[in-house]
Amino acid sequence: MSIVDIIPKIGAVGENLEVLDTKRDELIRVARNLNRLSGKGISSLIRNEKPTDALKEAGELLAIVNNYMKELTPIVSWNSILSDVEEYSEFAILYNIIYNEKFVSSEELNVPSWIWLTSIADVIGELRRIILRSLIDNDFTLAKKYYKILSELSFALRSQVFSKSLVPNLRRKIDILRAITEKTESDMANASLKFANQDFSDYGE
């Protein structure tokens, strides 16, 4: 191929890359909106609200993200929108635990399995917040329910040890969730004694 023939080919590649660059910018914008909406949804769940509409809207944004990634994956890494998709996964998992009493898979959420895995560690942190709120509200039964889920998830996740290059942030999050689990176990033990003493006092009266 001669230099003369190469010049228009270079131009065509450049035009194609400009289109992809525009789509990349749009992907980042949608992903950031997904992050913000999911973050608000998680906050609503912690406040004991049911953000069904927010979850639906977030799912629609995720579908747009996935469509862009089908075109951009050779050029754009999932790592560039990791925190955004992770936040959605955390939101959807937590919502289903609370309101549907089930745990949704990465396939059900349509998110990469390794992002789903790291989001579970964040779910554990939110479960601790719900447990503490339940204890403050003197609802020990609800606290026990979520503590059981927290413990099971923590145990399952701690066995998943992979390199940072394969699953970014997972090791760091596992270290954090160990501390979260231990603190929550201590809180539950103290609460158990408190409620046992209350029951004993009531019985004595």
CA 60, CA 129: separation in Å to the nearest integer?
28
Share of the chain above pLDDT 70, in %: 92
- Alpha helix segments (H runs only) across the chain: 3-46, 52-72, 82-95, 106-109, 113-136, 140-158, 170-204
State the pLDDT at residue 201. 46
Rounded mean pLDDT, 122-144: 95
Residues 80 and 28: beta-carbon distance below 8 Å: yes
Asked whether 34 and 61 are in contact (CB, 8 A), the reply is yes
pLDDT band at residue 148, thresholds of 50, 70 and 90? very high
What does the pLDDT look like over 153-197, one tens digit per residue?
Answer: 999 988 887 777 677 788 888 889 899 999 999 999 999 887 776
Q: Which residue has the tokens 């579908």?
A: 63
Apex 163 CA angle, 95 and 117, nearest 5: 10
53-57, 170-174, 196-200: which has the minimum mean pLDDT? 196-200
CATH number belonging to domain 112-205: 1.20.58.2140
CA distance 23 to 19: 6
